[in-house]
């Protein structure tokens, strides 16, 4: 395989999965280097030179190095996705960006709250009040998303990188152990995403090794 693209990061990280899914959507080959979590490798001087945060993901494309998963998404969309992942006009892009950033800034901390309190906390140490608080926050965000998806196939109309920024959470949302509200439009969107091989291969991957039991 000859490619200028390299992606660093463990593939069971939601932020890395955004890049994995986007690269699959645009059909770009890349070299993958597993770092972070059990793979370690984030504290080496070599990795810190690429990404001073010591976090994943990091993308290199020739002499360009990008970190922050949302910036990576936008780069892939702009460089390789054309209008498949983003849009032609600033007005249309603004709406895609709005939902993508909502996914990262509002929704991601909310569902990660469930992930941390349920998946990353052993049952014996789980705090029902803390779980109820993060579930409420997530459910409120999901209700807003359900309303947006009414009458739309995807978050911003046609498929875009906003579906990736938000949809990266869906497999975990539907498989973590907590009381999910009924959200018909989100359910239908999840069904549509599952018919994309890119979603199955990038997002519907086991996170069993992240469970703390």
Ligand X SMILES: N[C@@H](CCC(=O)N[C@@H](CS)C(=O)NCC(=O)O)C(=O)O
Which CB sits closer to ligand X, 183 or 202?
202
Cβ of 126: how many Cβ atoms within 10 Å? 11
Is 68 among the residues that bind ligand X (CB under 6 A)?
yes
Q: How far is the CB of 207 from ligand X (least distance, A)?
A: 11
Closest approach of ligand X to the CB of residue 22, in Å: 13
Q: How far is the CB of 171 from ligand X (least distance, A)?
A: 15
Angle of helix 128-149 versus helix 184-194 axis, rounded to 10: 80
Determine which residue in the list 15, 138, 160, 202 makes contact with ligand X, applying CB under 6 A. 15
In the bound complex, what is the minimum distance in angstroms from residue 53's beta carbon to ligand X?
Answer: 7
Q: By CB under 6 A, tell whether 14 contacts ligand X.
A: yes
Q: Which listed residue (26, 32, 37, 106) binds ligand X by CB under 6 A? A: 37
**Torsion, CA 195, CA 201, CA 204, CA 207, rounded to 10:** 180
Contact with ligand X (CB under 6 A) among 7, 13, 107, 166: 13
For residue 115 the two structure tokens come to: 């992930």
Distance CA 197, CA 77 (A): 18
Distances (CA, A) of 193 to 82, 102, 144: 20, 19, 19
- Give Cα 120 distance to the centre of its chain: 18
Stretch that binds ligand X, among 25-33, 50-58, 177-185, 198-206 (CB under 6 A): 50-58
Q: Which of 20, 56, 66, 135 touches ligand X (CB under 6 A)? A: 56
Minimum distance, C-beta of residue 187 to ligand X, in the bound complex (Å): 26
Residue whose beta carbon is closest to ligand X: 36
d(CA 117, CA 30): 34
How far is the CA of 50 from the CAs of 16, 59, 68, 162, 212, in angstroms? 15, 9, 12, 26, 30
Binding residue for ligand X, selected from 20, 50, 55, 77, defined by CB under 6 A:
55
69 touches ligand X (CB under 6 A):
yes
Question: Count of residues binding ligand X (CB under 6 A)?
Answer: 12
Whole-Å CA distances, 192 to 13, 74, 80, 152:
22, 23, 23, 11
Residues of the shown chain interacting with ligand X in the complex, contacts defined by CB under 6 A = 10, 13-15, 36-37, 42, 55-57, 68-69
């Amino acid at each position: 395989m000859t490619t200028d693209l390299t992606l660093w990061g463990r593939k069971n990280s939601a932020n890395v999965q955004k890049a994995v899914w986007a690269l699959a959507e645009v059909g770009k080959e890349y070299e993958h280097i597993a770092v972070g979590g059990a793979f370690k490798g984030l504290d080496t001087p070599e990795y810190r030179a690429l990404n001073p945060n010591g976090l994943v993901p990091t993308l290199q494309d020739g002499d360009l190095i990008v970190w922050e998963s949302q910036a990576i998404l936008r780069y892939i969309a702009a460089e390789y996705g054309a209008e498949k992942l983003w849009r032609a006009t600033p007005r249309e892009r603004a709406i895609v960006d709005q939902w993508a950033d909502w996914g990262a800034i509002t929704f991601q901390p909310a569902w990660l709250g469930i992930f941390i309190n349920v998946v990353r906390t052993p049952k014996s140490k789980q705090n029902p009040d803390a779980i109820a608080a993060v579930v409420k926050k997530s459910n409120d965000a999901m209700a807003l998303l359900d309303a947006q998806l009414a009458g739309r196939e995807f978050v911003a109309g046609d498929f875009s990188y906003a579906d990736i920024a938000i949809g990266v959470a869906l497999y975990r949302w539907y498989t973590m152990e907590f009381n999910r509200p009924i959200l018909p439009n989100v359910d239908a969107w999840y069904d549509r995403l599952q018919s994309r091989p890119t979603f199955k291969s990038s997002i519907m991957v086991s996170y069993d090794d992240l469970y703390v039991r």
